[in-house]
Structure 1
Amino acid sequence: MRALRDNSLSILFGALFVLALCGQSVAGWLENNEKLQQHGQPAESFAAFVTSSEFVVDVAENWQSEFLQFFLFIAATIWLIQRGSPESKKPGDEGPGSDEEQFVGEHAQPDSPEWARVGGIRQLVYSNSLLLVMGTVFVLSWLAQSLAGTVVMNAENADHGQPPIAWIEYLGTPDFWNRTLQNWQSEFLAVGAMIALSIFLRQRGSSESKPVGTPHHVSAEEAK
């Protein structure tokens, strides 16, 4: 029970992710079969649908935008600040911080991760591991979106008697950039709204909010 309590936030969102993905796959499968029926074509099995490019492109285009959002937010908050927002460091704390502030090398604590205690390339990699993983997942998801999108567009072209296009050509099509930018703009809006609204609005008990009585111009770190 303690392990469940200590990891309840991750467990909740992991469960919500699985449920939402399952729901999307079922809804998409039913919708796809409705379209096939309207065109007088045989229904597709669930297994065939969830391994199809149509399903992959829809999933990948959302994943890449989410990981891009967090990649840019993590990177931007190293150097940029927003006075009064709990999503920002306080003014004057811009930058990667000193070794003492980051508890690395000779300033590491007894229970610090091993790669924080050592120097060289391992410490450099670990010091930037969150950005590296977020960026890698973004690039791989964007690649998957583009490859699956190429297959989907070529299938549509075949239905209309048009020639197929190469992957590199698809990257310059309105379809690819429409799928990409419609997700990016919503992610940037959400992050920007969270940063700005959290200056003036509160949610008692949430780690994403300043204490209720904190002045608007004071960040969460300054209030401690």
Structure 2
Amino acid sequence: MEEHRVILAADVEDYTGRNRHDQGRLQAALVGALDIAGTAAQLRVADWDRQKQGDGQYVVLPAGTDPATVLGPFVKALSKHLRKQQTATFRIRVRLAVHEGLLSLDGANGYPGDHGVQPSRLVDAQPLRDALASCPEAALGVIVSERVFNDHIGQRPGSPRRDQFRRVDFEAKNRPYVGYIRVPGHNVHALALPSAAAQPDPRPPASGLNITGMGSNVAVNGPQTNHQTFGR
């Protein structure tokens, strides 16, 4: 059976480096934060299909969930609650991935297919890890799939603005992926993301070059060149 669903993947930063007691606290804090944010956003928490993963959770939201509610009220409530949990002796920082698509619900051991796999690849993306590492004050880093970004970000009142996200290209399991990162409360464009593939600058060059002509007769004029004509 296949249904269109919104899917979340959440993962706690620096889980492995904690002792057993602290790992237990992190697990409880993560589950509590997801429950509180989901309840605040009216996401029908009791109907979530969860896969427990120790330092994370993979969540298939109920049919009919509005992605805009996830991207807006849910993320806002989650970020707020996680910030409140930070103390001098306890810190929890979470990476969250959001994706949607046609999901196979009857797999023998999970959700087969690209839509089922992609949230796990996104939440583990190195550029998202870099974003949190570059912003120690942040409690939450969010990454959305290209599909979610194109279809839902900035498309209606109340949704996050597109300029709050930063595109990243990365590879996982020998496959290329595209994601869009946001760090609530912080300027993601100012963060150092050494693992993110460089993207072409969409702005026109500031060199002052002027290119004229067609075919074999192309003339280039600018402050760094004399008049040059390229032809056969």
TM-score, length basis structure 2: 0.24
Larger relative strand fraction:
2
Q: Which of structures 1 and 2 has the larger relative contact order (alpha carbons within 8 angstroms, sep 6+)?
A: 1
Larger relative helix fraction:
1
TM-score, length basis structure 1: 0.24
